[in-house]
Structure 1
Amino acid sequence: MKILFVHQNFPGQFLHLAPALAARGHEVLALTAEANQRPSPVPVMRYRTPPEVAVQGIARSYAEAAERGATVARACAQLSETRGFVPDVVFGHGGWGETMYLREVWPEARHLTYAEFYYRSRGLDTDFDPEFRRTGLGSRLGVASRKAHLLMALEDADAALAPTAWQASTLPDHVRAKTTVIHDGIDTDRVRPDPAARLELPGGRVLKPGDEVVSFVSRNLEPYRGIHVFLRALPAVLEARPEAEVVIVGGEGQSYGPAPGPGQSWKRRFLDELGPRIDPARVHFLGQVPYRQFLALMQVTRVHAYLSYPFVLSWSMLEAMSAGALVVGSRTPPVVEVIRDGGNGLLVEFFDVAGWSRALISALADPARDAGLRAAARQTIIEGYDLKSVCLPRLIAFVEGRAQG
């Protein structure tokens, strides 16, 4: 078959699937944004940056998605005209509007969509946190308007793929019937415990397994991933465990939710709030790091904190479990789908700052007690999320099976 992947940040969720399909003899091509310079495992073409839209207000998100969708559709039409490439399967991520009009270009193809999340103004992420809750009518209208381009992608797709059962549950009822749940997969051969792992801090200190390390990871440090709760829990941890070192990975940009204000970052805002109670000699902000450095952190940490609003589940939590880390997670729907409290990790209510302090202190104090949880965490990932034995075969079967209708 001829298979086209469409993703503005390709390879994204298709990192392993695209080359696996190529290895099975399919002709695989990817289309991505011209600004995306990530290495690609398959041949890739790029579409031009969509023009700026003049629309303001609640319709802006739809206008931007529609403009991107039209740009991608024109690029795909040109792909057919100049190269004669007519795909049997088009598999895209519906999140940015890229797939909105592709059935108009290739009506006979089978169209698949990666359905990561479906927005609602109530009951999910936007009204979860009372400190940053957006409940006014204007905010609700803005959130509701973000569903328009997602719904177009879902309606036009022959089948949808969601990475977790909870994320699939956010989709409209009539879409779930054509949605399959398969995670992207964790490479448990690579992401595994390593007693020889070492992590060098900026000051030159080297951390190793057995050291008293607390870790926190997020693409960007923001409330959606609980950075405010985590930082507020740290003063008690630092006081109770004088040998503890805290390593925080993440940028100061904005991935999800509202911005902290002009010229600010969420990190700086919460550090200013906590002042000298956060010891910069023991709390290390590494920014965004290469994957090998992230992996080393997961292999040396004694306890890894993961918090999330009711939103998309991060790969990093599953990778921490695969590396044999003890994960203390927030008792929120995307997390409890994977972590069983006292079974393969620990759970704390998202907003319980004192509870987070207690859980982290306890985990640091007695690592031997939690050895069973660490082993069970890795086993959970091997049995349910392993790339080679579980997820990739199912992903291949999904694409090849849906291609046949």
Structure 2
Amino acid sequence: MPSILFVHENFPAQFGGIANYLATQGWRVVFATGNEGFSTGRAHQVNGFQVVRYKNSGTGQTGHPYLAGTEKALRNGQGFARVAASLAKGGFTPDVIVAHSGWGSGSFAKVVWPKTKLVQYLEWWYRHPQVDTVPGQSSKRLEDHHARTIVRNLPFLLDFQQADLVLSPTEFQASQAPDFVRAHTVVQHDGIDCRTFRPLVKDEPLLSLKGVPDTAPILTFATRGMEPLRGFPDFMAAAAQLLKDRPDLHVVVAGEDRIAYGPKLPNGESYKTRALAAHDFDESRLHFPGILPKGTYARLLRRSAVHAYLTRPFVLSWSLIEAMASGCPLVTTNVDPVIEALGPGTPALAVEPGDILKIVRAANTLLDSPDMARAMGRAARERACRFYDSKVCHTRLAAILSNLVASPVNARDQIAFSPTAAASTSAHIPMQ
């Protein structure tokens, strides 16, 4: 069976599921990560595969402020290359490497293993004007912003010049890249677990939440960080009104009080603090449990009467697919990555980003129409499990990787890895 090396700054991130699946199929799997939870200098056994840690090669000064991200990426690449050289010295030569692009971690993989196939996992390509811009958020001059955006793609270009294949999780994300990159891109989602994320079954005990009666309807929102890009301020404004409209409603926000995407606020402020100051909440019905363990989060979604996913056009969150798989009635933004995930018929009430009144109306409609809400939830689950279940996605990802291993050395030049070509080999899920 083939051997594979995954490279990602974090762990398990997007690669944990497929790494585990390939290990069960007999592949030799090694995962290189910058995650500080692992010690350096030895291999760790996790879920049937090895995990090794690399460290950034150190800090340094760049000659130009635009290059700070590129400098960090190169140092990550050097750190990984040292670990890769150690693996090679120990006799490990992977047939294929899958590296998350942008961090720089896998940029020097072919320096160590020049004949190994390299998959560039491309999550986001920066464009100008940026499609993910939140109105009023950028204070940089237009020309300066444009220049910075161009330079941010340097680590992606470094990876692309060596890649045999580019892999992107959604059509929308793939579409952000220029044509010369898209021509070599296969679209395939990572997959989520439709057995963990599922609707409540008969006689199953509800998740007990402190301060929330078992009979109370719950409006849920989930986020890594609480920032405008993911619609947190919009959600909080809508939640304040919904709590006034519905005396029995409780609101649960799962996530951290930090900014994961976008510029930081001055003086250490947070958008959570701003929202609490800006709106009149009944805080006895507003709950912030923090980051929840996967099982607890899945149970929260099973309790959700309405789930809100209010992103701007950006990387599609797993949380939307997980809410769909859980059968949650959904209020979403009407943006391309969300509409792609929801598919024809759109089993959600979609509103324009920033339209607080329509978010409130949509949530009230679902809360007032339980039969309609349940039907939409069933349709959302059917869509999620048909196209995004890990059983489906992992099988297709394994086929993509197996085909690449079997292809000529100069695979990118001889094989058209376009979404259309990939679909003909059942390596691509058509989003229709």
Fold shared per TM-score above 0.5: yes
Give the Å deviation of 1:91.
Answer: 1.1
Distance (Å, rounded) in 2 between the aligned partners of 1:246 and 1:191: 20
Q: Which amino acid aligns with 1:395?
A: L
Q: Are 2:122 and 2:166, in contact at CA under 8 Å, matched by a contact in 1?
A: yes
Distance (Å, rounded) in 2 between the aligned partners of 1:240 and 1:39: 52
Give the Å deviation of 1:403.
Answer: 1.1
Find the counterpart in structure 1 of residue 276 from structure 2: 271
Find the counterpart in structure 2 of residue 8 from structure 1: 9
Gap regions ≥5 residues in structure 1:
none
Q: Are 2:343 and 2:383, in contact at CA under 8 Å, matched by a contact in 1?
A: no
2:167 is aligned with 1:121: no
Give the Å deviation of 1:107.
Answer: 0.8
Distance (Å, rounded) in 2 between the aligned partners of 1:5 and 1:320: 27
2:198 is aligned with 1:192: yes
2:402 is aligned with 1:400: yes
Find the counterpart in structure 2 of residue 40 from structure 1: 46
Q: Which amino acid aligns with 1:393?
A: T
Q: Within 5 A, what are the aligned runs for 1:200-349?
A: 200-203=208-211, 205-207=212-214, 211-274=216-279, 277-339=280-342, 343-349=346-352
Q: Are 1:11 and 1:40, in contact at CA under 8 Å, matched by a contact in 2?
A: no
Q: Within 5 A, what are the aligned runs for 1:82-161?
A: 83-125=90-132, 128-134=133-139, 136=141, 137-161=143-167
Give the Å deviation of 1:371.
Answer: 1.9
Distance (Å, rounded) in 1 between the aligned partners of 2:171 and 2:363: 28
Give the Å deviation of 1:250.
Answer: 0.9
Distance (Å, rounded) in 2 between the aligned partners of 1:212 and 1:333: 29
| Count of paired positions | 396
Give the Å deviation of 1:369.
Answer: 2.4
Is the alpha carbon distance of 1:403 and 1:327 closer, same or farther for their aligned partners in structure 2, counting shifts above 3 Å?
same
Find the counterpart in structure 2 of residue 379 from structure 1: 382
Identity %: 35
Is the alpha carbon distance of 1:374 and 1:347 closer, same or farther for their aligned partners in structure 2, counting shifts above 3 Å?
same
**Of 384, 390, 393, which aligns to 1:391?**
393
SS of the counterpart of 1:16? helix
Q: Which amino acid aligns with 2:23?
A: A
Gap regions ≥5 residues in structure 2:
39-43, 408-432
Is the alpha carbon distance of 1:365 and 1:22 closer, same or farther for their aligned partners in structure 2, counting shifts above 3 Å?
same
**Residues 303-350 of structure 1: per-residue CA shift (max 9 Å, x gap):** 000011111000011000100101111011111112258641110101
Compute the RMSD of aligned alpha carbons. Answer: 1.8
Give the Å deviation of 1:34.
Answer: 5.1
Distance (Å, rounded) in 2 between the aligned partners of 1:51 and 1:254: 25
Q: Are 2:98 and 2:121, in contact at CA under 8 Å, matched by a contact in 1?
A: yes
Distance (Å, rounded) in 1 between the aligned partners of 2:45 and 2:231: 31
**Residues 234-277 of structure 1: per-residue CA shift (max 9 Å, x gap):** 22211211111111111012211101222211111222222xx1
Distance (Å, rounded) in 1 between the aligned partners of 2:379 and 2:355: 25
Segments of 4+ moved more than 6 angstroms: none
Question: Normalised by the size of structure 1, how large is the TM-score?
Answer: 0.93
Distance (Å, rounded) in 1 between the aligned partners of 2:109 and 2:154: 16
Q: Are 1:34 and 1:49, in contact at CA under 8 Å, matched by a contact in 2?
A: no
Is the alpha carbon distance of 1:28 and 1:89 closer, same or farther for their aligned partners in structure 2, counting shifts above 3 Å?
same
Give the Å deviation of 1:131.
Answer: 2.8
Distance (Å, rounded) in 2 between the aligned partners of 1:385 and 1:110: 26
Q: Are 1:164 and 1:181, in contact at CA under 8 Å, matched by a contact in 2?
A: yes
Question: Normalised by the size of structure 2, how large is the TM-score?
Answer: 0.87
Distance (Å, rounded) in 1 between the aligned partners of 2:360 and 2:51: 47
**Of 55, 69, 83, which aligns to 2:77?**
69
